[in-house]
Amino acid sequence: MPLHAPRPTFLRRTFWPAWTDLAPRIRGEEAGPMDHATAQLWALVLASRHVPHRIRQRPEADGGGWAVQVQPWFLDRAEEEIRLYLEENLPGAPVHLPDLRPVSGLEPTVFGMGLLLLFYWACTLGYPAFGVFPHHWLERGGADASLILRGEWWRTLTALTLHADPAHVLGNCLIGGVFIWLASRRLGAGLAWLLTILGGGAGNVLNSLVLGAHHNAIGFSTASFAAAGVLAGITPFGVGGGVHGLGSGGPARRLVRFLSSALVPVGAGLGLLAMLGAGEGTDLGGHLFGMISGLALGIGAGWTATRHGLPSARTDRWLYGLALAIPALAWTAAWLA
């Protein structure tokens, strides 16, 4: 395949990816076989830069050794990353191993959940000087389907920040925090939080459309299940680990691997859905539609990341700020309406 051939379609990229040996581009066609330690080092460099790749042992008939392979549309980027690494680590110079920590740590998720707890506490207080009391928050921000369908879009987002009691908000912080943290380790906190908020809002929209005007709900659980869906959606693409999630084999085997790689997060979400769905007053539809929305967003994010890579650290910080600002903007619209 030509090195600069047009990018194939999504289905071909997913189930029939081509792989190109990176070593001849960097070491030359006449170089000897690559040893396993060097192949692993190159793979670590590519993983640290979130470039999809794989390691394969070469057959003895082709000279043996190991190969680091990338898909053709990542070849130039992979070559550049390896060359930069080799230039920075010349023989005799100190070796700087790439940073292989998760894309994002726990701190942004803890901070976000802390804001959710703080907002719950603030909503339990009265503000007589402004004529605002606890019940006003529910009236202004609950996901009342009849009002959402009339155009009060902000309710799909403000409802995510409202909770009935301490047990409600603590449970959502724990469950949602786990899924968002796991997604943050793969995508970065900014993108993970943004997809979670958008997935929660989309879940409330779908819930209102399906259940009709008499439905009303509050709680971050719709966003929590959206985070589970995001995690399931990105898993088959190997996002964050730098390795294509489908490996080798025929089309049927690739399809099975694509589906099975998402089975664990989907199963975890469905298990929680079954357990929480049995409780009185539980918004089962919100959970289900939140997960479906998150799954769709996760697949889109996974596909985009395999084409363009993950956001830079600076961009991810902006995305995190945007994710936290969206509910605030929605509340602004609620009180100004």
Instruction: Tell me the β-bridge partners of 68.
Output: 55
Is position 99 within any domain?
Answer: no
pLDDT digits (tens, 9 = 90+) for 140-166: 999 898 999 999 999 999 999 999 889
Q: What pTM does this model have?
A: 0.69
Whether 171 and 229 map to the same domain: the answer is yes
Residue finishing a domain among 55, 88, 121? 88
> What are 66-120's pLDDT values in tens digits?
888 887 777 888 888 888 888 776 655 554 444 444 567 788 999 999 999 999 9
14 shares its domain with 139: no
Answer whether residue 324 is part of any domain: yes
Asked if residue 2 is part of any domain, the answer here is no
Query: How many Cβ atoms are within 10 Å of 148's Cβ, its own excluded?
Result: 23
pLDDT at 302: 83
64: left (phi over 0), alpha (psi -120 to 50) or beta: left
259 and 215 housed in the same domain: yes
In a domain, 193, yes or no: yes
pLDDT bracket for residue 121 (50, 70, 90): very high
Average pLDDT over residues 221-234: 89
The total domain count for the chain is: 2
From residue 113, give the alpha-carbon distance in Å to each of 90, 215, 255, 265: 45, 26, 36, 21
Domain boundary among 56, 88, 120: 88
Is residue 38 domain-shared with residue 151, that is, in the same domain?
A: no
Q: Is 5 inside any structural domain?
A: no
Q: 255 and 120, same structural domain?
A: yes
Residues 122 and 78 in one domain: no
Check if the beta carbon of residue 109 is closer than 8 Å to that of residue 184: yes
- The reply to whether 17 and 120 lie within a common domain is no
| Whether 62 and 119 share a structural domain | no
Q: From the CB of residue 58, how many other CB atoms can be counted at a distance below 10 Å?
A: 16
Which of 21, 54, 88 is the C-terminal boundary of a domain? 88
The arithmetic mean of pLDDT across residues 242-263, rounded, is: 54
Residues 6 or more apart whose CB falls under 8 angstroms from that of 61 comprise none
Condensed to tens digits (0 to 9), the pLDDT of residues 295-312 reads 899 988 888 887 777 788
Same-domain check for residues 163 and 259: yes
Q: Where are the alpha helices (DSSP H) in the chain?
A: 10-15, 23-27, 36-48, 75-88, 107-123, 134-141, 145-148, 155-158, 166-187, 189-211, 221-234, 251-261, 263-276, 284-308, 313-336
What distance in Å separates the CA atoms of residue 294 and residue 198, rounded to the nearest whole number?
A: 8
Q: Is residue 80 one of the residues assigned to a domain?
A: yes
**Which DSSP state fits 138?**
H
Q: Is residue 199 part of a domain?
A: yes
Looking at the structure, tell me whether residues 191 and 305 fall in a common domain.
Answer: yes
CATH of residue 298's domain is 1.20.1540.10
- Mean pLDDT for the stretch of residues 12-24: 69
Give residue 137's domain range.
107-336
- One domain for residues 57 and 127: no
Integer Cα distance of 126 and 132 in angstroms: 6
Q: How far is CA 150 from the centre of its chain?
A: 31
CA 301, 307, 309, 314: dihedral to nearest 10 degrees? Answer: -70
251 falls within a domain: yes
Do 17 and 162 sit in the same domain of this protein?
Answer: no
Residue 171: pLDDT over 80: yes
On whether the CB atoms of residues 64 and 30 are closer than 8 A, the answer is: no
